[in-house]
Structure 1
Amino acid sequence: MSAFDDLLAFQRQTEALSSVAERLGWDQETVMPRGATEQRAEEMAAMEAVLHERRTDPRLGEWLEQAEPQDAEDQRILELISRDFRRASRVPARLATEIARQTSLAQGVWADARANDAPDDFLPVLSDILMLKREEASALADGGDLYDALLDDYEPGASQAQIAALFDSMRPRLVTLREDVLGAEFQPSALSGHFAQETQLRLARSCATAFGYDWARGRMDIAVHPFSSGRWQDSRITTRVVETDPFNCIYSTIHEVGHSSYEQGIDDDYAFTPLGRGVSMGAHESQSRIYENQIGRGAAFTGWLYQRMSDAFDGLSIPDAEGFYATVNRVTPGYIRTEADEVQYNLHIMLRFDLERDLISGRLDTVDLVEAWNARFLRDFGIAVDRPANGVLQDVHWAVGLFGYFPTYALGNVYAGCLNKAMAEAVPDLDRYLAQGDATPAVEWLRENMQRHGGLYPPRDLIEDATGSDVSEAPLLDYLEEKFSGIYRL
């Protein structure tokens, strides 16, 4: 066997073990007994120790030096393995294992603190995780910026300076649009009523099917914080149910289907290689956001959904499909990021981006985090946080050490704006299918132009190749202004 063959065989086992570790995380957030937290933390730490040893195995360096790529795919595989090898080699095994252990334990602490509105129960744990992540960032940065070192795990090649500049360019148009919408004379009605859990879940499954979710390679469960997990032949989704708000369940499901469909859509030949997963979280979020928003909240699909919901719940408080479309896209002040409308969603991300940068740099201490969050939220959204579960405790990300993840949500929205513009031009009759509850043409276009490539291209190159244009925030902002000006009759 050649050095390249040896490298691929070794990597195949590493990728398989990584999938097993991911499945442990899925189990913990869905069906694991609550009393198993400490045991699971040790299991996760043990898996991380094994994976870290493989990712830093000296033979990788030897194979990488000797391997001779035969084509562009081989070259990209070598680039990705080399990148992971360099990064993993900078992090001590002790540190990688301890991060896995502490973040596994922290999930349960966070969930209890959120349920009890008790930030003081969680902040000491967060402080410990923050110290570990700063240590990891220092090892990875090699003298460079700590936050950039963490961000590179989720969006390779991006920097906080680039993202800050992007957010600065987006904020004025978003704030102006929000002010115009909230001040408009016409305001859509809210959906009211009681919506049984089992009925919501049946509808959510119907929506997932409409978006081409492959149930033979996936499943849906309930979690506190919706997420997707897995790849290739086993890509799972979760959702959550609020019996007064069916949109929470339906659109969380469609969002996670976008993530999972990306993994299901990757070329089968890339399985168990670095090409066999989404290339970045920004790219991943582009799929979840375009599924959820541009497609799922569009007038054509909501017309179909209105009839299905009316039948399922024996009528709705909204009298017609046009009013339902406005209700689905209703802009209201709110606390929760995952429930935020398209106009305000990115403002929620900007808040988190600034706060976590300050946490990593040491400009903000965890003991001051609640006050800092509440003050910033009041400034940005004009309402005071009523309780911690609606404020600093609402997201699981910091509990599990995902510092640098949040900005990829907004970057995904920007990518989705670019993709949506190109898709609308390429599939001009898409709405005719969506009105029948069939998202197949959209899914096929996204699969052909983006999803199937997996990690073959760097994130921005992937989006630019798919759309034929440079990445820009303009298509997203233009789409938002056109859509909400129409809904609110501006």
Structure 2
Amino acid sequence: MSAFDDLMAHERQTQALSQVAGRLGWDQETVMPRGAGAQRAEEMAAVAAILHERRTSPAVGDWLAAIDDAALDAVGQAQMRHIRRDYARATRLPAALAAEIARTRSLAHQRWAEARGAEDVAHFLPMLERMIELKRQEGAALADGGDPYDALLQDYEPGATAAGLEAMFGALRPRLVALRAACLEKPAPEALSGDYDESAQMRLSRVLAKTFGYDMARGRVDKAVHPFSSGSGDDVRITTRTNPADPFNCFYSTIHEVGHAAYEQGIDPAYGLTPLGQGVSMGVHESQSRIYENQLGRSRAFTGWLYERMREAFGDLGLAGPDAFYAAVNALKPGYIRTEADEVQYNLHVLLRFDLERDLIAGKLEAADLEEAWNARFEADFGYAVDKPSNGCLQDVHWSEGLFGYFPTYTLGNVYAGCLMQALRAAVPDWEAQLAEGDLSGVTGWLRENVQRHGGLYEPREVITRACGQEPSEGPLLEYLEAKFGALYGV
């Protein structure tokens, strides 16, 4: 067993260094001085090079050859499954390409932020072109003759294929379009009005984070342009954003990121700094953030509790009462921004990005033509034109970071969340009464026990299947959406 012990010691150091790399990214998004960008790019490239060297070390290959997986227990076998898969992928990727992707990611992120602020797509295009070319190279290297996009997808959802996702998304699209059309024909519910102090928003967002089980002793809440969660184990940080005219943006961004963070904090501590010590996939990760944000956070039970907390923080909200507040929280309305979209329209935003990024990686679409393609697809899907780049192809950070293959996991996470909520309702029959009192411990405890604690022990679909007692499908999500919004809008 010494080979296994030596391999796991090596892996723990590699995982620790990976956490350091993540902290550099968190710092860049939150508090890094504006003038430090070029140096940070070199720092991140250097760490990426060291990580790639460790992940492709001949010693790892020797240890893997010496280990008999059948002699290990279930946890050891799961560790080996991840390490063998990661080693096979890492050894296909040239070290120089890995370092160049890391360097370009840092520079492209800064260029994206500048372009977004200036509404100037052309300013971003050179870096986007470079990132697409690098990711095409990476996909080709990893695919080993297969589909490059499928190869990139494995970084986010092991076992998934673009063809399988396309079939699932094809089943979602017509019912979502029909539900959206039916709801938007009805009168819009009453909306919040006025200004909401941003410091008060941040105070209440921290209350919400704790209410949903976020351990502030092992985390923190900061502000960023694009909310995100970072880290695992005993250092899991989240960010949110504020808008004086839209406090829901802050509160539901916070709850969403707490879902991610709670997953990382809820993993069995024995798996810390090993391949099992982090979320098994972005689809499963997104199932946690979306069920926290939507099925729980936007439920009638919880919004009644939140209504009172907001009145305490801000005074009169200009709404008739808890029912009007619930309708305002869940209002369908035209909009451009994926992260601000309601539950019915959100997945249509994701499907747009999924199709465009597949074409970018396949060479069917070039960066120079992206804005035109985005705007045409958006108008076809949503019925109105994009008004400015920050509401169009510059709104998301993902492509500047090289995260091709990430977007479809958002909708996959919604599908998983629909399945989990169906199971949760049966397992915690008084969940609504608990949420009405601001007590999330029952529902988050069920998720921790059935999903979060396992970390990477099982494959992604197996995690959901074990929790729900059946294979995941789009049916429960569609039934939930049609029931909820059918009742809200009388359709």
Other-structure match for 1:402: 403
Aligned equivalents of 2:108 and 2:366: distance in 1?
Answer: 18
How many corresponding residue pairs?
Answer: 489
Aligned residue for 1:238, secondary structure, equals strand
Choose from 104, 108, 124 the match for 1:106. 108
Moved over 4 A (4+): none
Q: Shift of the alpha carbon at 1:146?
A: 0.9
- 1:296-307 to structure 2, matched below 5 A, reads 296-307=297-308
Match of 1:385 in 2: 386
2:80 aligned partner: 78
| Counterpart for residue 40 of structure 2 | 40
Q: Displacement, 1:66? A: 1.2
Look up the match of 1:484.
Answer: 485
Amino acid at match of 1:454: G
Give the AA of the match of 2:141: A
Partner of 1:421: 422
Secondary structure of 1:49 counterpart? helix
Letter in 2 for 1:411: L
Taking the TM superposition and a 5 Å limit, the aligned residue runs for 1:18-417 are 18-68=18-68, 69-184=71-186, 186-417=187-418
Q: CA deviation at 1:64?
A: 1.0
State the SS of the aligned residue for 1:114.
helix
Secondary structure at the residue paired with 2:199? Answer: helix
- Counterparts of 1:319 and 1:183 in 2: how far apart (Å)? 23
TM-score, normalising length from structure 1?
0.99
State the one-letter code of the partner of 1:16.
A
Instruction: Give the Å deviation of 1:432.
Output: 1.0
1:438 deviation in Å?
1.5
CA distance in 2, matches of 1:124, 1:376: 23
Provide the secondary structure at the position in 2 that maps to 1:472: coil
CA distance in structure 1 between the partners assigned to 2:423 and 2:368 by the alignment: 46
Task: Give the deviation of 1:46 after TM superposition.
Answer: 0.2
Deviations 1:121-178 (A, max 9, x none): 0011100000000001110001100100100110000000000111101101100100
Residue identity (%) = 63
1:13 Cα offset (Å): 0.3
> SS state of the match for residue 350, structure 2?
helix
Counterpart of 1:206, as a letter, is: V
Distance (Å, rounded) in 1 between the aligned partners of 2:412 and 2:88: 26
Residue deviations 1:78-130, cap 9 Å, x none? 11001000000000000000000001011111001001100000011100000
> How far does the alpha carbon of each residue in 1:232-255 deviate from its partner, in whole angstroms, 9 at most, with x for none?
000000000111000000000000
User: Is the aligned partner of 1:9 residue 2:9?
Assistant: yes
Give CA deviations for 1:315-334 in whole Å, capped at 9, x if unaligned. Answer: 10112000100000000110
SS for the counterpart of 2:333 is: coil
Amino acid at match of 1:188: P
Shift of 1:61: 1.1
Q: Which amino acid aligns with 1:280?
A: S
1:263 Cα offset (Å): 0.2
Quote the Cα distance in structure 1 between the aligned partners of 2:59 and 2:419. 41
Helix, strand or coil at the partner of 2:194: coil
- CA displacement at 1:287 relative to structure 2: 0.2
One-letter amino acid of the structure 1 residue matched with residue 3 of structure 2: A
Deviation at 1:187, TM superposition (A): 2.4
Distance between the aligned counterparts of 1:318 and 1:90, measured in 2? 58
Q: Quote the Cα distance in structure 2 between the aligned partners of 1:194 and 1:484.
A: 28
After TM superposition, give the deviation of residue 443 of structure 1 in Å: 0.6
Shift of 1:455: 0.1
- SS of the residue corresponding to residue 18 of structure 2 reads helix
Q: Which runs of 5+ in 2 are unaligned?
A: none
Shift of 1:454: 0.1
The Cα shift of 1:70 comes to: 2.3
**Rounded Cα–Cα distance in structure 2 between residues aligned with 1:347 and 1:70:** 44
State the TM-score, normalizing by the size of structure 2.
0.99
Between the aligned partners of 2:488 and 2:410, the Cα distance in structure 1 is 24
SS in 1 for 2:369: helix
State the alpha-carbon separation in 2 of the partners of residues 50 and 59 from structure 1.
15
3-state SS, counterpart of residue 235 of structure 1? strand
Determine the C-alpha separation between the residues in 2 that align with 1:120 and 1:157. Answer: 36
**Correspondence 1:423-438 to 2 at 5 A:** 423-438=424-439
**Structure 1 CA distance, aligned partners of 2:274 and 2:231?**
14
**Letter aligned with residue 65 of structure 2:** E
Q: String of CA shifts for 1:371-418, please: whole Å, max 9, x gaps.
A: 000000000001100000000000000000000000000000000000
Distance in 2, Cα, partners of 1:175 & 1:61: 50
- Unaligned 5+ segments in structure 1 are none
